Amino acid sequence: MHVKHLTLSNFRNYQTVELALNQGINLLVGKNGQGKTNLAEAIFYAATLSSHRVSGYLPLIKQGESKAIIRILARFDDRENLLELELNTQGSNRARINKSDATRVRDVLGYVNAVIFSPEDLDIVKRDPSNRRAFIDELIVQLTPRMAGVYSDYERVLKQRNTLLKSARNIPAGSSSLSTLDSWDQSLVRIGSEIISARFDITARLSPHLQEAYSAIADEKNDPSVKLRSSLLSNDLESETSVEFLESGNREEIENLFQERLKEVRTKELERGVTLVGPHRDDLLLLLGTLPAKGYISHGESWSYALALKLASAELIRKEARAGDPVLILDDVFAELDSTRRSRLAALVSHNEQVIITAAVAEDVPSELSATRFYVKAGALEVSDD
């Protein structure tokens, strides 16, 4: 699929902007802080209902305004769909699909697919588990839009269970408040197991693409692999060397394991007032050969790894998603890559149905990716074909 047209109103630093994008390669050029990433972010938001930079949507609304609009005309084969998202500081957000009100905002998922690669993606490799969970969960939601509902249900159950745990801290065993906890456990286990199983499944499907992408970018064929480290098996997720990987994605097995673990940690949970096991505590272990990527591999290898994860995601979406080829967004990456990886990346992406590249310096982008240039300056655009 590709995005034909993007209209923003009161989004980030844009009051209003119209961007008519081409199939193939589009280059957004401009000095720092002018609004290049903001354009990319708007497209990514329509694909995932999440930003690659912040959690929550309030920062996307222009400062001082109460409502932001993202409107996207997306084309897949010979079909066009007009999507509109309205983000509100007060009251709930709304969505329209082909000018009709959508029942739920998340109904817009599945029309636009996008994979964004930016310097922040190094965090997936180098930093804490929340970055890896966000990576895998965004991919799951794009491939299976229905899962967006499962994630928000889980968030809700987790929040309520935590509130209950906090308030039950001083309540003696056997009281009625603890039996309420049991019923929350049922929901937590049912919904949480669906998420864990989906993560297991997607990790397996991503793996062959990851290996392929990594060896296309890096010379050393160091064999990257991904495993799911689950809090259902170990509470010691801080340790890089613990080998508590989930070996099966079977829902029933996961549910049983989850149930057992909750019993084991119940006392501790009541002491601490938080839910200690579940998908919100899980992690992906990224390996390069036998070494964990985090804390072991070099800076350059981390770049290759992060890039390979994103290219592999794009490949998986291309193969499996309803709308086909995702829009590939390369946000500020060419300036950070050496010339070998620049030209390898250029070769890998040049045939994608649509690519959006942002750069402060156009010369950092390899010449084989020559394209329509959009000059971004202080929240406004100029176009030039060269």
Ligand X SMILES: Nc1ncnc2c1ncn2[C@@H]1O[C@H](COP(=O)(O)OP(=O)(O)OP(=O)(O)O)[C@@H](O)[C@H]1O
Binding-site ranges for ligand X (CB under 6 A): 12-13, 30, 32-38, 59, 61-63, 332, 358, 360, 376
Smallest separation, CB 148 to ligand X (Å) = 24
CB of 364 to ligand X, least distance (A): 11
Q: Considering beta carbons, is residue 228 or 306 the nearer one to ligand X?
A: 306
> Does residue 221 sit in helix, strand or coil?
coil
Residue 37 vs 222, nearer CB to Mg ion: 37
- Cβ proximity to Mg ion: between 194 and 332 the closer is 332
Q: What's the closest the beta carbon of residue 368 comes to Mg ion, in angstroms? A: 22
Identify whether the C-beta of residue 328 lies closer than 8 Å to the C-beta of residue 352: yes
* Structure token digits, residue 261: 């673990």
Q: Which is nearer to Mg ion, 38 or 352 (CB)?
A: 38
Identify which of residues 17 and 108 has a Cβ nearer to ligand X in the complex: 17
Q: Which residues contact 260 (CB under 8 A, 6 or more apart)?
A: none
Nearer to ligand X, 30 or 279 (CB): 30
Q: Which residue is nearest to Mg ion (CB)?
A: 37
Q: Quick one: 119 or 289, whose CB is closer to ligand X?
A: 119
Label residue 91 left, alpha or beta by phi (over 0 means left) and psi (-120 to 50 means alpha): left
Bin 250: left if φ > 0, else alpha if -120 < ψ < 50, else beta.
Answer: beta
Measured from the Cβ of residue 202, the count of other Cβ atoms closer than 10 Å reads 23
Tokens encoding 344 = 């390898």
Contact residues: Mg ion, CB under 5 A: 37, 332
Asked if residues 68 and 86 have their Cβ atoms less than 8 Å apart, the reply is: yes
Helix axes 176-217, 251-272, angle to 10 degrees: 120
Indicate the SS3 state at residue 345: helix
The CA distance from 20 to 7, in Å, is 9
Least spacing, CB of residue 244 vs ligand X, in Å: 39
Burial track 30-65 (b if 16+ CB lie within 10 A, e otherwise)? beeebbbbbbbbbbbbbbbbbbbbeeebeebbbeee
CB of 33 to Mg ion, least distance (A): 8
Q: At 286, list the tokens.
A: 């990224």
Kindly tell me which of 137 and 332 has the beta carbon lying closer to ligand X. 332
The Cα 175–Cα 222 span in angstroms is 56
Q: How far is the CB of 360 from ligand X (least distance, A)?
A: 5
Cα–Cα distance measured from residue 25 to residue 367, given in angstroms and rounded to the nearest whole number: 12
Listed in sequence order, the DSSP H helices in the chain are 36-48, 122-126, 129-143, 147-167, 176-217, 251-272, 299-320, 339-349
Q: Which is nearer to Mg ion, 50 or 231 (CB)?
A: 50
**At its nearest, how many Å lie between ligand X and the CB of residue 31?**
7
Residue 312, number of CB atoms within 10 A of its CB: 24
CB of 307 to ligand X, least distance (A): 18
Rounded to a whole number of angstroms, the minimum distance from the CB of residue 63 to ligand X is 4
Q: Name which of Mg ion, ligand X, none residue 38 binds, using a CB cut-off of 5 to 8 Å depending on partner kind.
A: ligand X
Q: Which does 62 bind (CB under 5 to 8 A by kind): Mg ion, ligand X, none?
A: ligand X
